[in-house]
């Protein structure tokens, strides 16, 4: 894959995610529990933010020739989260398919607008950092796959949950 095509795909997936969030309207709807389990859209957005911040930081490390190694012990996994404020999503010890409740809990008392601002900043950091990398760096670090795992895969997962919730609430409100 080439970088220009990947950036187009990334932006396309991002636009779909933002359009879905914009369709939801006012912030009260975004903070209502029950999207999936006891989670709100705000919770899903916080989880997405942490995943984006994870890969944004890894891209920054690559740009600065720093080395990242996934946590291979539970102690290292805990230390990573304490240091960075989010889980080591590439550790083989972490079940990454599920929302990370430690992250969601961390964002409980942070306003929706601030989460949105941080999430947009993380996405822009990913986009800008990726543009600075060479094609060989992208291949050497498997970035096409890794960035997709931490950006548009979470967008799609959150989008599925949100669309299910929208259908469920629409059918419940019909007389």
Query: If pLDDT is split at 50, 70 and 90, which confidence band does 28 have?
Result: low
**Beta pairing partners, 39:** 36
Contacts of 124 (CB under 8 A, 6+ apart): none
Least confident of 12-16, 44-48, 55-59, 103-107: 103-107
DSSP 75-113: HHHHHHHHHHSS--TT-TTS-TTS--HHHHHHTTTS-HH
Q: Which domains does the chain have, with CATH numbers?
A: 3-142+158-173 (1.20.120)
> What share of the chain in percent tops pLDDT 70?
91
pLDDT digits (tens, 9 = 90+) for 41-89: 888 899 999 999 999 999 999 999 999 999 999 999 999 999 999 999 9
Angle at 74 (CA atoms; ends 47, 84), nearest 5 degrees? 45
Distance set, CA 82 to CA 7, 60, 76, 147 (Å): 31, 19, 10, 23
């Amino acid at each position: 894959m080439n970088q220009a095509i990947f950036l187009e795909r990334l932006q396309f997936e991002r636009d779909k995610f933002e359009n879905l969030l914009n369709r939801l309207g006012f912030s009260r709807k975004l903070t209502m529990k029950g999207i999936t389990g006891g989670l709100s859209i705000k919770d899903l957005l916080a989880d997405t933010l942490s995943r984006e911040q994870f890969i944004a930081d890894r891209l920054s490390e690559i740009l600065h020739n720093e080395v990242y190694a996934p946590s291979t012990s539970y102690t290292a996994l805990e230390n990573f989260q304490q240091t960075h404020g989010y889980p080591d999503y590439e550790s083989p010890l972490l079940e990454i398919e599920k929302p990370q409740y430690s992250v969601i809990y961390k964002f409980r008392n942070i306003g929706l607008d601030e989460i949105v601002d941080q999430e947009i900043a993380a996405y822009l950091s990913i986009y800008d950092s990726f543009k600075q990398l060479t094609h060989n760096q992208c291949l050497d670090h498997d970035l096409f796959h890794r960035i997709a795992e931490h950006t548009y895969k979470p967008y799609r997962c959150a989008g599925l949950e949100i669309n299910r919730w929208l259908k469920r609430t629409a059918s419940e409100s019909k007389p």
